[in-house]
Each structure stands twice: as C-alpha cells, then as structure tokens.
Amino acid sequence: MKKRVILKIYGFVQGVNFRYYTLGEAQKLGLSGWVKNEPDGSVIIVGEGKKEDLNKLINWAKKGPSFAQVEDIKIQWQEPIGEEGFEVRY
C-alpha cells in the first residue's frame, strides 16, 4: 500500500549536499517525490511509495549525509497523489 510523507528537516542541512544524497537514497528505495531547500534554512522532502521504504527514508533523514547536523525532523503522513520520479527542486 502506497503512502505519502512530508519531512521537514531542521539543523545544518543546507550546503552539505543533503538534497543530492536524498535523491540517491530515494532512487535506491524506489520512491517518487522531490526534495528542496527552504528559505528558513530547512530542507523539505516529499516522498511517495511503500510505507516500509518511506520509513527507511525517514530513518536515513534523521542523520542525513556525513556533514549534516540534523537537529529536528517534522513528519506528516498523507495519502499519495501520484508523484512520478524523484527530483531535486530549486
């Protein structure tokens, strides 16, 4: 059963390739959606796919890439809307 999750990641998460590592993780897990830097310094991730794979993405995002320092993560579950592919948005 597919689900949709929206993650808002806070901390030192911009300027450390967080978006590109997220892209790789999402593609590895077969997820659809996107990732984007937010003006407030956070990163937002929108993912769709199997709940077990989304949980793997959440667990990865709690730490992020090696140079990131994740301080907080907000998680919101929703019904999927049919995202296709996974991309970095600007």
Which residues form the catalytic set? 19, 37
Query: Angle at CA 43, nearest 5°, toward 40 and 48?
Result: 140
Smallest CA-to-CA distance from 82 within 55, 45, 56, 49 is with 49
Q: How far is CA 29 from CA 4, 10, 49, in A?
A: 14, 23, 9
